[in-house]
Amino acid sequence: MNKNPIDWTKYLIVFLLTAGLFGVAAWLSNYFGGQKISELKSIQDNIALDILSSETQFSLLSDLSCKNMNDSILSGQLSEIGTKLEWEEQNMGNTPEVLYLRKYYSLLEIKDYLLMKNISKRCGTKYAFILYFYTTKENCSQCQREGLVLSDLRSKYPSLRVYSFDYSTDLSAVKSMLDIYKIKDTALPAVVLQDEALTGFRTETELENKIKKFFGLEEKSGAKSAGKSASASSTGIKKP
């Protein structure tokens, strides 16, 4: 006869061990996730410092400052942080830390946008600015495509600066921009080009024509210089 009794203690111990294993997995996930958040925070702090420094420099030197201004000190890392933030949102979900970083990032984008606009105006540098508003994939079926179009345009035109904003960002500065350009969540994706709000999906050709018309930008020549410029002068574009 098979009289192998059931060892309930063993069943319980293994249960606790398995729970412990899952606990370790959760802890490791939190630990490494936290490291990434710290990394992002640190990059953002650096950007904030860069922007503040540039603003101060700009105010101090006024018109004479143009020759001293270059975009590399402003937002070289803004593109990197945009891509990393997007990855973190996909990977970790919208945790409070990620939402905070998203707000911080949006604020830095607005500051960079305003500063670059001033520099461009005063110094006559050829920069094109696009503000891009999107929302989640579930609420905006075309946002992902628009994001792709803008990324592609950015790589074609090194002087094009694209600032992307999540419609749902709970930040008064973002809400003010939405009010200024009268953008509703039902009309996303939305692109603001030279103060003109274009809602709904816009093709690459259409946007390209407008960029050429408004800003007189030229397409990059040679992949080497383009790659360098694109990373140095543009911000990450969120594709939900």
By CB under 8 A, is residue 5 in contact with another protein? Answer: yes
Q: H helices within 78-142, ranges in order? A: 78-92, 96-123
CB 167 within 8 A of CB 133: yes
Name which of 204, 200, 178 is nearest 189 in CA terms. Answer: 200
Token representation of residue 183: 């953008």
Cα 108 to Cα 48: distance, rounded to the nearest angstrom: 7
Nearer to another protein, 111 or 220 (CB): 220
For residues 37-64, one letter each, b for 16 or more C-beta atoms within 10 angstroms of the residue's C-beta and e for the rest, the string is: beebeebbeebeebbeebeeebeeeeee
Q: Which stretch binds another protein (CB under 8 A): 10-18, 109-117, 125-133, 169-177?
A: 10-18
* Site for another protein, residues 39 to 68, rule: CB under 8 A: 39
Q: Which position among 48, 55, 65, 92 is part of the footprint of another protein (CB under 8 A)?
A: 92
Least distance CB 173 / another protein (angstroms): 27
SS3 189: coil
Nearer to another protein, 1 or 60 (CB): 1
Q: Which position among 48, 57, 83, 115 is part of the footprint of another protein (CB under 8 A)?
A: 83
CB 79 within 8 A of CB 236: yes
Q: Which stretch binds another protein (CB under 8 A): 70-78, 104-112, 125-133, 144-152?
A: 144-152
Q: Which position among 4, 172, 205, 221 is part of the footprint of another protein (CB under 8 A)?
A: 4
Cα 240 to Cα 141: distance, rounded to the nearest angstrom: 9
Hey, how many other C-beta atoms are within 10 angstroms of the C-beta on 73?
13
Q: Which stretch binds another protein (CB under 8 A): 86-94, 104-112, 174-182, 212-220?
A: 86-94
Cα 39 to Cα 156: distance, rounded to the nearest angstrom: 30
Nearer to another protein, 142 or 199 (CB): 142
Cα 156 to Cα 190: distance, rounded to the nearest angstrom: 21
Nearer to another protein, 20 or 126 (CB): 20
Nearer to another protein, 64 or 223 (CB): 223
Q: Which stretch binds another protein (CB under 8 A): 21-29, 113-121, 171-179, 185-193?
A: 21-29
- Residue numbers of the site for another protein (CB under 8 A)? 1-6, 10-11, 13-15, 17-18, 21-22, 24-26, 28-29, 32-33, 36, 39, 83-84, 87, 91-93, 144-145, 148-149, 151-152, 155, 204, 227
